């Protein structure tokens, strides 16, 4: 009888030890996976911001369409003024030997590294082809109308599949700090100079 009680006590100790271990490891695993997804998503939002700023440079507005933005990245060109001659050479300037030529260079090559997967810019990392929410418009700042855009994804989508209670806690914490339980860049309701809410 003593041997049976001994075995039951050892089994109970093992079960309790497992649950204690899991209660410590669960938040650690959550944070590790959250950081992985968070960092990749922030980089993707920075890429969207870079593309939007370039788009605005050409068209004086932002776009709320990923199709339009991706087409611009693939086929768009920047105008660049190339100076031919040495502008520091006063004799050459006086003699009119300095000229300017406008050339066009591809947008994609100018903004991103060679081989950048431009079609993936619309998708949230670590999801099954979930797209960022993208919108553009105008915002009245005083008597000035300013073009604005916003790209965002809620943590409920970005961190889907992780511990539900830890996700609820994290959402509440981020909502207090940034007024949005997710990651976003830009804003449709205020001028933020295209800042991200992680900055």
Tens-digit pLDDT profile for residues 178-190: 889 999 999 998 8
Residue 19 inside a domain? The answer is: no
Q: What are phi and psi of 42, to 5 degrees?
A: -60, -45
Residue 143 inside a domain? The answer is: yes
Residue 86 inside a domain? The answer is: no
Q: Are β-strands 144-154 and 182-186 bridged in parallel, bridged antiparallel, or unpaired?
A: antiparallel
Residue 31, burial from CB neighbour count under 10 angstroms (0-12, 13-18, 19+):
middle
Residue 105 inside a domain? The answer is: no
Q: How confident is the model at residue 94 (pLDDT cuts 50, 70, 90)?
A: low
% of the chain residues with pLDDT over 90: 44
Residue 195 inside a domain? The answer is: no
Taking only the tens place, the pLDDT of each residue in 142-160 is 888 899 999 999 999 999 9
Residue 9 inside a domain? The answer is: no
Residue 87 inside a domain? The answer is: no
Region of poorest pLDDT, from 10-19, 48-57, 113-122, 160-169: 10-19
Q: 178 lies in which domain range?
A: 36-74+113-186
Q: pLDDT value at position 49? A: 96
Q: Distance between CA atoms of 141 and 56, rounded to whole angstroms?
A: 18
Rounded to the nearest integer, the mean pLDDT of the chain is: 85
Arithmetic mean of pLDDT, 189-194 = 86
Q: Which residue has the higher pLDDT, 41 or 28?
A: 41
pTM of the model: 0.79
Q: For the chain, how many structural domains are there in total?
A: 1
| CB of 73 closer than 8 Å to CB of 52 | no
């Amino acid at each position: 009888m003593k041997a049976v009680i001994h075995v039951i006590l050892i089994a109970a100790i093992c079960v309790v030890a497992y649950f204690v271990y899991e209660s410590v490891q669960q938040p650690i695993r959550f944070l590790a996976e959250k950081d992985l997804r968070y960092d990749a998503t922030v980089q993707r939002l920075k890429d969207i911001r870079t593309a939007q700023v370039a788009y605005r440079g050409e068209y004086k507005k932002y776009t709320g369409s990923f199709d339009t933005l991706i087409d611009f990245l693939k086929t768009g060109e920047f105008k660049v003024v190339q100076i031919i001659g040495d502008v520091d050479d006063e004799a050459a300037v006086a003699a009119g030997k300095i000229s300017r030529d406008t050339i066009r260079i591809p947008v994609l090559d100018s903004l991103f590294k060679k081989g950048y997967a431009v079609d993936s810019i619309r998708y949230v990392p670590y999801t099954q082809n979930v797209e960022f929410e993208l919108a553009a418009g105008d915002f009245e700042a005083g008597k000035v109308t300013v073009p604005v855009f916003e790209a965002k994804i809620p943590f409920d989508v970005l961190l889907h599949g992780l511990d539900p209670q830890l996700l609820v806690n994290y959402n509440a914490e981020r909502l207090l700090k940034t007024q949005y339980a997710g990651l976003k860049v830009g804003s449709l309701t205020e001028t933020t100079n295209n800042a991200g809410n992680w900055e």
